[in-house]
């Protein structure tokens, strides 16, 4: 076991057998918590990647099931390429769990890129390869030195991997190709388990501010100062089950109206809570960009609009809020900050 606080972590040459030093090293950041039921399937799919020069960094949030035993068993296959990190903030949730992984990858300094992994999905074999190709294309076209992020669509499946929807974006009524640094302040359309980021983004994103709603949303916001690319062809089977941290929900008008009529108070409470969270997260981004000497004008404009009277917000809400009209109107009317 290693920790970024203990000095550099290294990947011995030729570890894992099939890894090629001619290929660039990519860190896979896997956050686990009581994930024994599906973890083996995810580990098998990571092992089967066509891009063989990867290192699997794992941070566990205090599992009480067989998760750690499974990781110990898979250590025999992965060898030195599987590293379970100490986690000083165990039991404090997914954001700090991923922050632990991000910090380890950044401070070690071996990998130029990192991909994020949930514990219950299944990756298609070219997942890392395709993301890295797009990342390198962006950097070669002027992205070097800028925070860069690649993300993509997913195939939504049930517990047994039967397809629910060929496109997570369509299922959620999102269009990630059209989202902008401005729209991301209110609505996250970057799915964390599809993300690849470069070291510049990790440097800018860390430490994670207390008001970051989720690690993937924060990384998406940081990428607004650089480049972001969406891949339309899914490379992940996104498994839906009762214990998903977020998951894919039916967002049809009928289903959503049913939720409101059966639990109206709960819906309003969640909407208002998200409104407060997005406001505070935008403030944190404004402060981070100022500290880095980067342009934060669009964030300040957004915050000034959020601070304005309802009449002014109604006039401009389409510019700031994207997605289905019901979502836009609920944010406009219920997000006071």
* Residue 250: predicted pLDDT: 58
Given a cut of 70, the residues of the chain with pLDDT beneath it are: 1-21, 242-264, 337
Question: What pLDDT, in 10s, does the model give residues 34-67?
Answer: 999 999 999 999 999 999 999 999 999 999 999 9
- The CB density around residue 145, as the number of other CB atoms within 10 Å, is 10
* Single pTM value for the model: 0.87
Q: Name the one residue in this structure whose structure tokens are 């629910």.
A: 164
- pLDDT score recorded for residue 144: 82
Q: Residue 322: what pLDDT?
A: 82
Measure the CA–CA gap between 56 and 303, rounded to whole angstroms: 39
Distance CA 313, CA 334 (A): 11
Residues of the chain with CATH 3.90.550.10: 4-151+171-230
Q: Residue 256: which H helix or E strand, with range? A: helix 253-262
- 230: β partners: 151
Query: For residue 121, what pLDDT is reported?
Result: 96
Q: Tell me which long-range contacts 203-206 makes (C-beta under 8 A, separation of at least 24).
A: 203/106, 204/147, 204/288, 204/292, 205/102, 205/147, 206/99, 206/102, 206/103, 206/106
- 8-state DSSP, 163: E
Cβ(129)–Cβ(23) below 8 Å = no
Half-sphere exposure of 69 (CA within 13 A, CB side): 6
- Distance from C-alpha of 272 to C-alpha of 249, rounded to nearest angstrom: 19
Among 1.20.140.10, 3.90.550.10, 3.40.190.10, 3.40.5.10, name the CATH number for the domain at 4-151+171-230. 3.90.550.10
- Rg (alpha carbons) of the chain, rounded to whole number: 20
Distances, alpha carbon 34 to alpha carbons 16, 17, 43, 50, 194, in Å: 26, 29, 15, 28, 21
CB 207 within 8 A of CB 287: no
Q: For the stretch 223-233, what's the b/e string if a residue is b when 16 or more beta carbons lie within 10 angstroms of its beta carbon?
A: bbbbbbbbbee
What CA–CA distances, in Å, run from 233 to 41, 63, 120, 128, 215?
A: 21, 33, 20, 13, 23
């Amino acid at each position: 076991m290693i920790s970024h606080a203990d000095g550099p972590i290294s990947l011995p040459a030729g570890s894992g057998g099939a890894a090629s030093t001619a290929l660039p090293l990519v860190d896979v950041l896997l956050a686990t918590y009581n994930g024994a039921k599906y973890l083996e399937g995810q580990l098998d799919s990571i092992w089967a990647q066509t891009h063989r020069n990867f290192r699997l960094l794992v941070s566990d949030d205090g599992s009480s099931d067989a998760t750690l035993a499974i990781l110990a068993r898979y250590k025999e296959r992965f060898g030195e390429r599987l590293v379970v990190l100490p986690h000083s903030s165990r039991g404090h949730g997914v954001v700090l769990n991923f922050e632990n992984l991000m910090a380890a990858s950044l401070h070690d300094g071996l990998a130029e890129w990192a991909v994020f992994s949930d514990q219950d999905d299944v990756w298609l074999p070219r997942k890392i390869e395709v993301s890295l190709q797009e990342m390198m294309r962006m950097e070669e076209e002027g992205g070097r030195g800028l925070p860069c992020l690649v993300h993509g669509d997913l195939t939504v499946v049930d517990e047994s991997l039967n397809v629910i929807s060929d496109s997570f974006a369509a299922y959620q009524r999102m269009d990630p190709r059209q989202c902008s640094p401005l729209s991301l302040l209110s609505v996250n359309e970057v799915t964390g388990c599809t993300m690849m980021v470069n070291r510049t983004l990790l440097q800018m994103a860390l430490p994670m501010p207390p008001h970051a709603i989720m690690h993937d949303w924060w990384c998406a916001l940081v990428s607004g100062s650089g480049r972001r690319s969406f891949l339309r062809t899914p490379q992940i089977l996104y498994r839906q089950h009762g214990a998903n941290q977020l998951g894919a929900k039916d967002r049809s008008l009928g289903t959503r109206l049913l939720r409101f009529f059966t639990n109206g108070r709960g819906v309003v409470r969640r909407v208002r809570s998200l409104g407060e969270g997005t406001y505070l997260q935008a403030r944190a981004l404004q402060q981070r960009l100022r500290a880095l000497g980067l342009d934060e004008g669009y964030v300040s404009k957004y915050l000034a609009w959020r601070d304005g009277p309802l009449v002014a917000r109604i006039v401009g809400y389409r510019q700031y809020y994207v997605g289905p009209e019901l979502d836009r109107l609920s944010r406009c009317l219920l997000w006071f900050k």
